[in-house]
Structure 1
Amino acid sequence: MQPNQLTSGDVIADRRADYAKMLDESGEPNAAAELMEQALELAPRWGAGWYRLAGYREKAGNKDGAIEAYRQTLEVSPDDIFGAELKLALLGDLATPDQPPSSYVERLFDDYADRFEASLVEKLDYSVPAKLAALVATTGRNYMLAVDLGCGTGLLGPEIRDRVARLEGFDLSQNMLAKAAEKNVYDHLAQADLSLAPEATGLFAEGAVQRADLITAADVLMYLGNLESVFEAVSALVMPGADFAFSVEDAGEGDGFHLAQSLRYAHSEIYVRALCIRHGLEIVAVSKTPIRKDGANIVSGILFLTRKAA
């Protein structure tokens, strides 16, 4: 949890929560849960506290107790900035949602913005921007307008800037957009929510459709489940003959998507290919490749280069 979510408003509850955190870090999740329960007796409307209790119970193998605490998190924080709904889905208490709560994704990246690049690039060997840019470069094309969906701190922008006349970036997190602005690479940056219906995303604030000849989405679609509305938005954004380059986490076999323990979604190649067919996108190239580390594990991804029918 980030500092702005740690305080309960009760000094004694906060102190007990701090001790609970120490116990958990020492490998004693049961003891941490007991102390966190005491903290919540003093601050029963503390959403972050219930979420932390759920995590301790989950580590301790108390599935029913974790479900109860995640439900309580949702009750006191119905906007679900902590992603409790996703955790309940993984525990089998709810059906997997088609999309995560926008409030959760926005909070996640607002909190993550200051350390995003150091954590992802330097520690987790994140490689999607360079690999996706290399895929785009194979076209040999120069573009009039590129739209970078989920641009984050702007890691992809510098990789494609030399072949783009105008570059626009959109992201749900204002803090990530502020970091992207510091790079002085984008001609325009604005907030957008890709989980919404196309007309509500914020991508068409000026009513401009079919304005781009390149769309990119580097490591964005794994924070969405059902990608139908995203592909509808892309279809409205691109000109005939435009390129759409994007990445997904590889779900392996099957024809759909699933929610992973990381709270990110993985999509199968079959699922993405079906979307491309429905939306008039020819698949120019597909590349399966490692995209980052997740602890000791390597996360596998799929890069796609597609083209809108002329």
Structure 2
Amino acid sequence: MPHRLFLSSGDLIADRRYEFARDLQLKGDLAAAAEVMEQAIEVAPGFASAWFELGTIRLALGETDQAIAAFQNARAADPDDRHGAGVRLMQLGAAPLADMPKAYVQSLFDQYAPRFEAELIERLNYRAPAILFKAVLAVRASERKPAYFNRAIDLGCGTGLGAAAFAKNVDSFIGIDLSAGMIAEARATGLYAELEVDDMTAGLQRQPDASADLVLAADAIVYVGDLAPVLREIERVLRPDGLLAFTVETHDGDGVIMGKGLRYAHAAEYVRGMIAAAGLQLAHLAPASPRTEDQVPVRGLAVLAGKLESTR
């Protein structure tokens, strides 16, 4: 996902040097780009965008220690961490795994919203909603139950691709997304009865107990590290016969890591443990690739869980 947030330093000379350094970076002259970016920082020491870009240049040069220092300075210069320097530090093992900065996720997707669908479908062969729809049909068929849902909650709804995949099987959709830009795109589809700008857990907290037949999160849980809080809320809002369907990216190790694509990857055993701890029963867990990146299918899992004994 191309993401180049620019926050002006407030100094014209520093901003111009930043732009010159970016040009050099794009042309592949990384050593010169780093030098000019450092000149921009000399003029404006609290220039968060320059520190962040210097970090990415140092990383590309293989200078990991210097990249870490630059990302630390970027985070210090912008306490909201809109560039996501903390996410880079987690990926580099230089910061403990924690929640992604809210302002970073918001700025990432607000910028991305207008071209989101074209980018996902054409370039990344995005297939998470289709994978989940197929899995839901299979689970419901095995239980001899109709795959029709009265009220569904679409977590991290984005532009509405999840709701579009389930539109004929859901009577009423509620969408929750942290990005106002994404919510505006989702509203234009006419697929949602309600839309809320919020993170998943907070958005769910406002939903009544046992009020949803289906909770959907297509390629959205990849922005959530610790699954416990959101799964606890999902268990509360699901009706007794309700179903949860989501995708995650995965890895061969234990627990949760920050993946190469700057999204969390959850190990299968971690997911199983979190589902059980939340009082949900696993109905389906199978390898499924939600998207393609650098011409390679991203490793993932499709996960379905319910509240009832019968959803095993």
**Unaligned regions of 5+ residues in structure 1, if any?**
none
Q: What is the match of residue 143 of structure 2?
A: none
Compute the displacement of 1:43 (Å): 2.1
Q: What is the match of residue 43 of structure 2?
A: 42
Give yes or no for contact 1:260–1:266 (8 Å, CA) kept in 2. Answer: yes
Distance 1:250 1:38, change over 3 A: same
Compute the displacement of 1:279 (Å): 2.2
Q: 2:181 aligns with which of 175, 179, 182?
A: 175
Q: What is the match of residue 6 of structure 2?
A: 5
Separation in structure 2 between the aligned mates of residue 211 and residue 204 of structure 1, nearest angstrom: 12
Compute the displacement of 1:248 (Å): 0.4
Q: What is the match of residue 184 of structure 1?
A: 190
Q: Normalising by structure 1, report the TM-score.
A: 0.92
Give yes or no for contact 2:149–2:169 (8 Å, CA) kept in 1. Answer: yes
Q: What amino acid does structure 1 have at the position aligned with 2:209?
A: V
Give yes or no for contact 2:247–2:290 (8 Å, CA) kept in 1. Answer: no
Give yes or no for contact 1:240–1:309 (8 Å, CA) kept in 2. Answer: yes
1:266-295 per-position Cα deviation (integer Å, ceiling 9, x unaligned): 111111111222223222222312221222
1:115-141 per-position Cα deviation (integer Å, ceiling 9, x unaligned): 111111111111111111122223232
Compute the displacement of 1:263 (Å): 1.3
**Is residue 288 of structure 2 the alignment partner of residue 282 of structure 1?**
no
1:58-79 per-position Cα deviation (integer Å, ceiling 9, x unaligned): 1112222212211111111011
1:291 is paired with a residue whose SS is: coil
Q: What is the match of residue 114 of structure 1?
A: 114
Q: What is the match of residue 261 of structure 2?
A: 262
Q: Which runs of 4+ in 1 moved over 4 A?
A: 1-4
Residues 1-310 of structure 1: matches in 2 within 5 Å? 5-97=6-98, 99-138=99-138, 139=140, 140-194=146-200, 198=201, 201-205=202-206, 208-252=208-252, 254-309=253-308
Compute the displacement of 1:244 (Å): 0.5
1:75-114 per-position Cα deviation (integer Å, ceiling 9, x unaligned): 11011111111212222322222x1111211111111111
Higher mean Cα deviation, 275-284 or 164-173?
A: 275-284
Root mean square deviation of aligned Cα: 1.8
Compute the displacement of 1:262 (Å): 1.7
Separation in structure 1 between the aligned mates of residue 62 and residue 275 of structure 2, nearest angstrom: 42
1:190 is paired with a residue whose SS is: strand
Q: What amino acid does structure 1 have at the position aligned with 2:231?
A: F
Give yes or no for contact 1:54–1:65 (8 Å, CA) kept in 2. Answer: yes
Give yes or no for contact 2:7–2:48 (8 Å, CA) kept in 1. Answer: no
Separation in structure 2 between the aligned mates of residue 121 and residue 73 of structure 1, nearest angstrom: 32
Compute the displacement of 1:255 (Å): 3.7
Higher mean Cα deviation, 99-108 or 86-95?
A: 86-95
Compute the displacement of 1:6 (Å): 4.9
**Unaligned regions of 5+ residues in structure 2, if any?**
141-145
Equivalences, count: 302
Separation in structure 1 between the aligned mates of residue 277 and residue 69 of structure 2, nearest angstrom: 41
Give yes or no for contact 1:148–1:168 (8 Å, CA) kept in 2. Answer: yes
Separation in structure 2 between the aligned mates of residue 204 and residue 44 of structure 1, nearest angstrom: 41
1:236 is paired with a residue whose SS is: helix
Give yes or no for contact 1:280–1:309 (8 Å, CA) kept in 2. Answer: no
Separation in structure 2 between the aligned mates of residue 273 and residue 255 of structure 1, nearest angstrom: 12
